[in-house]
Structure 1
Amino acid sequence: MEPRTTTGPSEVADVVIVGGGAAGCVVAGRLAAGSDREIVLLEAGSVADARRSPMPGGAFAALNDEILHTDVTVPQPELGGRKIAVLTGKALGGGSSVNMLAWFQGDPADYDGWLAAGAEGWGWADVRPVFQRIEHNAAGAGEFHGAGGPMAIDFARDIEPGLLRFVAAGEQVGLPVSHDLNGKDRVGVGLSPTNIRNGARHSVVDGYLTPVAHRPGLSVRGDSPVERILIEDGRATGVRLADGTVIRAREKVVLAAGALKTPKLLMLSGVGPAEHLRAHGIDVVADSPGVGQNLHDHPMVPAVWQVHSGRTLLDAQDEQSQEAYRLLGRGPLSAFPTVAAFFPPADGDGAPEVQGLFYLIGLDGDLQPLDEPAVTVTVALLTPRSRGTLRLASADPAAAPIVDPGYLTDPGDLPRLREGVRRVAELMAAPAARKVSGARVFPAEIASDEALDEWIRQNVQTQWHPCGTCRMGTDPLAVVTPRLAVHGVENLMVADNSVMPAVTRGNTHAPAVLIGERAAEFILGG
C-alpha cells in the first residue's frame, strides 16, 4: 500500500512536519501509528519518486538525478579553492531513497560523547534499546540488534566472490575480521550491513509510512517546499509554503529538513544569530547564535585500483543480470555489496577513526563511473575536527545558503586522512587483494607525504553526511534541548542530523532514523 497523498494540504493539523526525509518519515509514521493526531508531512521533492531507485545494483545511478538537492560550498581554502557539491535527498524518504544502502549505527563512543557534550539521555545505554526497536535484523534480536522493527537490515546476497578477497586482505594487514560491524567488533573488516529486503531497497517509506498509509489522520504532500515557520508570541503556530499556502499546527511544528535546509529555515523565520538576521532585514524572534554553527561532514577521497579477475558492477549491467533481477530479484543487481574496513587510530586502540568502503566499480575524482573494470575504496575521516558554518545569502527563501564546511581547516585532519589512505593502500597491496586487483589508477602513485597531501586536497569530496548545524545541548550555543525542542520558541522541534553534536563514526542514515524515533517518542510521551 502506498502512502496516501493530498493535492492540497489540510489548513489545520495537530503536527506539521517539514521534510519527508529519513527522520521526518519516521516521526510521521510513529505518530500516525501511536496516536489519533492529524499529521501533515511536507516534502519539497516528489512523493512519487520515493521508489525510483529500488534496485540496489543501480544505486550510483541516482547521483545525478533530479531527486537530489545540490548545494555547493564556497571555495575551500584548504582544498585549493575548490567548491564541493553536497548532495541530499529530494524525494519522499530522503537519503534512504537514494543512498548506498549502508546501515551503520555508529560507535558507542559517539553517543557517550554526545552525552558528555550535554545531550542528556543520548548516551549509548539510552540509544541502544532504540536501535533494537528500529531494526528487523536478519541476524535476529540480541545485545545490539532487534527483530520485528520497521527497518530491514541484512547482508547483500549473491555477492561477487572477488569482493570477499578484500576481507581476507584486511586480515592479512592486521585488521580483525568482523561478522557484525554493528556488534561488539566495530573495528575491523567485514561486509557492510544494508537496508535490503527481498532484493530491493528498503527505505523509511517502506518501513514507516506504508504500514500506516490507511490512517485517516496522516496526510503526505510532495512538491511542497516551506519558506517560513510562523511564530507568534514566541510560539510556532504553523508554516507558509512557497506557493503561499498556510498550514496551522495546533500542537507542534517539527523541522526535519536536514542539516542544510533546517538552519536556513530557522534563520528565515527569525531564529538565529541576531546580527546576521538583522543584516538581512529579518526580524529577530529568538537570538540563537548556534544556528548554522558546527557544520561538519566526513571528508572523503576515492582511491581506485584496476580489477583483473572476476566481475564488477560494470559487468552486472548486461542483459542476463537485468533479466535475473526482473524475474527473481536475484543476481548482482539485487545487492549493492560493499566491504567495509574500520581502522583504529594509528597511535593505538580505540573506536575507529578511518573508514574504507570497497565498491566493485571504478569512480573518478568527481565520483563518475569509469569504463574499465576497477575497485574504488572511499577513504573517509570518521572523526573530523574541522567545523564550518551555514549562513543566509539573503532573506529570499529561494536563494541558496552560504555553505562553508571548512574542510581540513583543523590541522589534525589532513594527517589522519593521509594515514587512512596509506593504510588502505597497504591493504590493497596484500596478497589476497592482489589476486583480484592490479595497478593503482587513482592516484597513479603514492609518494611523499607532501605529494599525497596535495592529492588529497585536490580530491577530497563530501561523503554527503552534513550534520551539527542545530546541535542539541544546554550551553549558550546549543540550538535545541536534549528533547529536541528549539531554545526560545515554544512548540517547535528539530528532528534531523542537524542536532548531532558530532557526526557518528559511519554512514549517517541509521542515526537519522534514531533521531526521528526519539522525536516521536518525546511527542507521544508529552
Structure 2
Amino acid sequence: MDSKPDFVIVGGGMAGLVVAARLTENADTTVVVLETGQDHSSDPRVRTPMLWPSLLGQSDFGWDYRSTPQKGRDGKIIPLSQGKGLGGSSAINGQAFVANSKVAADAWAEFGNTGWDWKTLGPYYQKFHTLSRPSPEACDHLRLGYIDDAVRGTNGPVQASFPEETVDPLPAAWVDTLAALGYPASGDPFSGEMYGGYINAMSIDPTSKTRSDAVSAYLGPAKARSNLHIVTGATVEQIVLDTTAATPKAIGVKVREGEKVSILKPTKEVVLAAGVFGTPKLLELSGVGSSEHLEPLAITVIVDNPNVGENLQDHPNTSISFEVAGGVKTMDALSRQEPEALGAAMQEYMTLKTGPFASGGNFAGSLLPLPDFEGEEGEATLSKLISSTGGDATPGPFSHSHTSFVHRVLGIATEGVGNLFTYASCSNVISKGAGVGIIHHGTDSTPGNFLTICAALLYPLSRGYVHITSADPASKPEIDPRYLEQPLDLEVLARFLRYIEKIIRTEPLRRLLKQGGRRNFGAPDDLSNLDVTKDYVNGSALSCWHPTSSCAMLPKEIGGVVSPKLLVYGVEGLRIVDSSIIPLATRGNCQTTVYAVAERAADLIKGDYGIL
C-alpha cells in the first residue's frame, strides 16, 4: 500500500468505490480505500437477488443500527439496516432501481447549492448505469412501454434489468389497476417527471442474473490497478486535523487494524464516504460538530458547526397483506422456508437463471400524488391540514426551506409524494426484530398466500439527528429519525394507506385477491376509517432504510455541513461523498442518487486537482 497516497477514502461502500474507481482511471493518481467490513462479493447470499432478506440483521453484512424509542411511533425502536463491507448497502439492499425527481433535485439548487439541479444531475443518472430490456413478450406483460431510451443509461457500470416474466398476473394487474384509477405511468422515471404505477427496474445483471453492486460494477474492473489499494478490516477512528494555521486542515486518518493503530496521510485530501451514520460520527469524534454535544464528552472542539448530524431524513413506511385468490402464486412458501419450495426455486435458478431467486421481488411499484389533495375539494383539504398541523418537527435553520418545499410538492398533481409498491408474500410489520422477520411472516403464522402492498412517505417533514454519545470510536451513535413526529406526516401516510383499500377493490387486481380473505396480523379489516388507519400506522410503521441528509449540502446558515463542492465547512482537505450530503429525502430508493452524486463528486475532485 502506498504510504503517501494522493487520496484516502474512508468507506468502501457505494460512493467510496465509485470515487476510487473514477480517480484511479488516471494512472498517476493513487487512492487508498479503508473499509471496516470485509469483501463478501462472492457470497451467494449477496450475489443471488432473492436472498437479500437473509442478510438483514447479520453483523458481518450490516451495522445493526437501532433508533431511539420513537415518540411518533408509541416508543417503538426501529431497526435501521446499513451495509457493512465492500459495496456497502448496494450489497445488501432490495435492488429496486428508482430515480429521483426533477422537482426535488431542482430544490437542491433553490436551497443555495449552485450547480446541483436536474439539468446537472440528470446526465450522471445516465452515466452510472446500463438498462436492459427483457424479451418483447416480457416487455408487453410488464407494461414497459414507458421506457424512454433518451434518458436511460446505455453503457454505465451498474447493470439494471427487469424480470423475464410473462406468466405471473400480479405485476400486470397492479399496473393496470392503477391505470384504471387514473394513474398510468406518465413517462420514464429517469426523466425526473414521471408519476403513476409501473414496473421498476432492479440492479440485477440481465445475463448472469446476479446482483449488480458497487463491487461488481466499479471495483471489479478497477481492482487490478496498481494505483488503487483496498484495505478491509480497517476502522478509521479519527480524522487527524492540523490546527496550526487559521483554518484547520485534514492531514490524515487514524486507522485501527486489529490491535495495530497507525496514521495514514494523503498528499491531497481525505474523502469521507462512511455513510449517513458513520460520517457525522467521525466528524464529531474528530472535533467537528456542535460544542453542545462534544464538550460534555471531553472532545476538543476544532470546528463548531451545530449542523453536523442534524437534518436526518428517512422514508417511513407501513404495509397491509391481503390473501390472494386460489391458484394465484406468491413467494410465501419461500418466506416460510418450506424445503420443497426452496429446493425447486434454487434448482431453477442454478440451471436456468430464472424463477423467484433471479429477482429481488419488489419490482411492482408507483410514484403517486395523494388523491385526497387533487381537485378543488382536495386543495381545500390540503390547505386545512397544513393549517392544522403547523410547526416544525425539528426547529432549526433548514426548517423554513424544508417546510415550504414539502407543502408545495404535496399540492402538485403530477408529482409522486408517496410510493405504493407490492411484495408477493405476507409481511410482519409488527415485528421488533431487525432481520428477515421484518419482511417475512415466519413459521408461527397461519399458512397461506398473500400480496403485501406497502405505502412509503417520500417527503417527510420530520427530521431527526445522529450524534455520538461517547468519545469511544467503538460506540454506536444515537440515532433519532423522529418518524411521524410532524403531524402532517402521519396524515399523509395514513391517507396513502387508506387509498390501498380502493386499489384492492378495483379491477383487475380485485379478482386476484380473495374476497373477505385474511390480512396480516394486526391489520384493520377495513381501512376506510382514517382514525383506525392512523392507529395502525402508529403501530406498524418501519423504515424503508433510505436515510439521508445528516451532513447536508446546504449553505451553513441554513443547516449545511458541506459546500456545493462537498467540502466540509471550516476544514481544508476534507470532503464528504455519501448519502449524508443529500439535502432532501429522495423520491424513492436513494441508491441511484448516491451513485449519481458520487459520479459528479469524482468529476469535481478531478477538476479541483487537474486530474485528466
Aligned to 1:5: none
| Between 476-485 and 59-68, the greater mean CA deviation after superposition | 59-68
1:240 aligns with 2:254: yes
1:357 aligns with 2:421: yes
Whether the aligned pair in 2 keeps the contact of 1:473 and 1:481 (CA below 8 Å) is: yes
Aligned to 1:374: 450
Superposition deviation, residue 302 in structure 1: 2.0
Superposition deviation, residue 265 in structure 1: 0.6
Residue-pair matches, total: 518
Aligned to 1:215: 225
Whether the aligned pair in 2 keeps the contact of 1:50 and 1:93 (CA below 8 Å) is: no
Q: Work out which of the residue numbers 9, 12, 18 in structure 1 matches 2:4.
A: 12
| Between 57-66 and 478-487, the greater mean CA deviation after superposition | 57-66
CA–CA distance in structure 1, aligned partners of residues 53 and 187 of structure 2: 26
CA–CA distance in structure 2, aligned partners of residues 404 and 206 of structure 1: 33
Aligned to 1:105: 99
Superposition deviation, residue 227 in structure 1: 0.9
CA–CA distance in structure 1, aligned partners of residues 188 and 452 of structure 2: 22
Partner amino acid for 1:12?
K
Superposition deviation, residue 447 in structure 1: 4.9
**Partner deviation per Cα, 1:302-321 (whole Å, 9 max, x = no partner):** 22111233222235643232
Partner amino acid for 1:363?
S
Partner amino acid for 2:115?
G
Superposition deviation, residue 397 in structure 1: 0.9
1:126 aligns with 2:136: no
Higher strand share: 1
Aligned to 2:490: 414
Superposition deviation, residue 440 in structure 1: 5.0
Superposition deviation, residue 184 in structure 1: 6.4
Partner amino acid for 1:473?
L
Whether the aligned pair in 1 keeps the contact of 2:319 and 2:497 (CA below 8 Å) is: no
Aligned to 1:286: 303
Tell me: CA distance 1:201–1:113, structure 2 relative to 1, closer, same or farther (3 Å): same
SS of the residue 1:510 aligns to? helix
**Partner deviation per Cα, 1:190-231 (whole Å, 9 max, x = no partner):** 101111112111111111111111110111111212111111
1:441 aligns with 2:519: yes
SS of the residue 1:386 aligns to? coil
Superposition deviation, residue 518 in structure 1: 1.6
CA–CA distance in structure 1, aligned partners of residues 256 and 182 of structure 2: 55
Tell me: CA distance 1:48–1:55, structure 2 relative to 1, closer, same or farther (3 Å): closer
Whether the aligned pair in 1 keeps the contact of 2:276 and 2:580 (CA below 8 Å) is: yes
Tell me: CA distance 1:296–1:358, structure 2 relative to 1, closer, same or farther (3 Å): same
CA–CA distance in structure 2, aligned partners of residues 264 and 429 of structure 1: 48
1:314 aligns with 2:314: no
Aligned to 2:564: 482
Superposition deviation, residue 357 in structure 1: 1.5
Partner amino acid for 2:556?
D
Report the TM-score, using the length of structure 2 for normalisation.
0.82
Q: Work out which of the residue numbers 262, 266, 269 in structure 2 matches 1:249.
A: 266
**Partner deviation per Cα, 1:410-444 (whole Å, 9 max, x = no partner):** 12111100111012221122121122223351313
1:458 aligns with 2:539: yes
CA–CA distance in structure 1, aligned partners of residues 329 and 342 of structure 2: 11
| Between 339-348 and 85-94, the greater mean CA deviation after superposition | 339-348
Report the TM-score, using the length of structure 1 for normalisation.
0.94
Q: Work out which of the residue numbers 351, 356, 364 in structure 2 matches 1:327.
A: 351
Identity, % of aligned pairs?
30
CA–CA distance in structure 2, aligned partners of residues 157 and 209 of structure 1: 28
Aligned to 2:386: none
1:473 aligns with 2:565: no
Superposition deviation, residue 185 in structure 1: 5.8
Whether the aligned pair in 2 keeps the contact of 1:158 and 1:332 (CA below 8 Å) is: no
Superposition deviation, residue 93 in structure 1: 0.6
Whether the aligned pair in 2 keeps the contact of 1:74 and 1:402 (CA below 8 Å) is: yes
CA–CA distance in structure 1, aligned partners of residues 565 and 21 of structure 2: 19
SS of the residue 2:320 aligns to? strand
Whether the aligned pair in 1 keeps the contact of 2:176 and 2:184 (CA below 8 Å) is: no
Aligned to 1:258: 275
Superposition deviation, residue 40 in structure 1: 0.9
Superposition deviation, residue 182 in structure 1: 2.8
Superposition deviation, residue 506 in structure 1: 0.7
Superposition deviation, residue 384 in structure 1: 0.4
Aligned to 2:382: none
SS of the residue 1:11 aligns to? coil
Higher helix share: 2
Aligned to 1:65: 58
Partner amino acid for 1:327?
T
Aligned to 1:28: 20
1:345 aligns with 2:370: yes
Whether the aligned pair in 2 keeps the contact of 1:17 and 1:256 (CA below 8 Å) is: yes
CA–CA distance in structure 2, aligned partners of residues 412 and 169 of structure 1: 28
**Partner deviation per Cα, 1:119-170 (whole Å, 9 max, x = no partner):** 1111000101111211212259843222111111222223633332111221
Q: What is the CA RMSD across the aligned residues, in angstroms? A: 1.8
**Partner deviation per Cα, 1:52-99 (whole Å, 9 max, x = no partner):** 421112222222323011111111111111111111001211111111
CA–CA distance in structure 2, aligned partners of residues 71 and 245 of structure 1: 27
CA–CA distance in structure 1, aligned partners of residues 367 and 49 of structure 2: 23
SS of the residue 1:435 aligns to? helix
CA–CA distance in structure 2, aligned partners of residues 231 and 185 of structure 1: 43
Aligned to 2:212: 202
Whether the aligned pair in 2 keeps the contact of 1:181 and 1:188 (CA below 8 Å) is: no
Superposition deviation, residue 178 in structure 1: 5.2
Max Rg structure:
2
